[in-house]
Amino acid sequence: MKILVCISNVPDTTSKITFTNDNTAFNNAGVQYIVNPYDEIALSKAIDLAEGGKGTVTVISVGDVTTDATIRKALATGADNAIRVNATPRDAWFVANQIANYAKENNFDLILTGRESIDYNGTQVGAFVASILNIPSVSISKKLTIEGNTATVEREIEGGKEVLTLNLPAVIGTAEGVAETKIPNMRGIMTARTKPLDIIEPIEVAQLSHIVKFETPDPRGVVTLVDAEDVEKLVSLLHEKAKVI
């Protein structure tokens, strides 16, 4: 089985988020980048599926040379080889077209993504890739099994669970529960240096969206504690301060 795992290079969750160019661009200064945590789940599942010579795992990421450290970590975790599309990932449509273009030429049986990236939280790339390739896709899967040419996916819906079966090839977005996240060991870190990381140039993609402005959330207000017995004060605060009643 040939498995392609899509990897995003995202800011560490401890990074301070600021913007430049009149709040139209993310400020990379001093930001530490990591493998998108949901993509780590996808990668771990792919490694499990390919274990014992049952398949190969290729990771693909869209980014400039600064993305290489993140890709090398994916190789250290257990991927067999990697592809970097040498371009700035300007939006989900652009990224999906780059991934689909590579996948189309290399006939993968299964394409795994994280449920979303933790920077933009768009949950769009997987569905776009599937649409471009005209193959089925499922987002936010909680459990995934492969039997022959069939994938069985379990995901949560309101009030219960949904179990789906679909024929491969397919695109599946993974979430918590699909696999335990793997951590690179020393042998993996050493071998990652010699695994293939090929750089390919991007294809032309029409720009369908433009960022108008970024804004950070308003700072959280001060918490006011009210004694459980003081209902009159609680009602007064809800009415006069919170203005919700």
pLDDT for residue 224 = 86
pLDDT at 26 over 90: no
Residue where the block lists tokens 């369908």: 208
Q: What is the pLDDT of residues 190-201, one digit of tens each?
A: 898 899 999 999
> Got the DSSP string for 86-118?
ES---SHHHHHHHHHHHHHHHT-SEEEEES--T
Q: Print burial letters for 136-146: b (CB count within 10 Å at least 16), e (below 16).
A: bbbbbbbbbeb
Please report which helix (H) or strand (E) contains residue 171, including its range.
strand 170-174
For the chain, report the end-to-end CA distance as a whole number of angstroms: 59
Q: What percentage of the chain exceeds 90 in pLDDT?
A: 67
Residue where the block lists tokens 């001093």: 30
Which carries the bigger pLDDT value, residue 85 or residue 117? 85
Q: What is the mean pLDDT of residues 141-159?
A: 93
Which carries the bigger pLDDT value, residue 25 or residue 143? 143
pLDDT for residue 82 = 97
Q: What is the mean pLDDT of residues 42-63?
A: 95
pLDDT at 30 over 90: no
Strands 25-26 and 2-6, by their bridges, are: unpaired
pLDDT at 4 over 90: yes
pLDDT at 46 over 90: yes
CB 124 within 8 A of CB 96: yes
pLDDT for residue 81 = 96
Please report which helix (H) or strand (E) contains residue 2, including its range.
strand 2-6
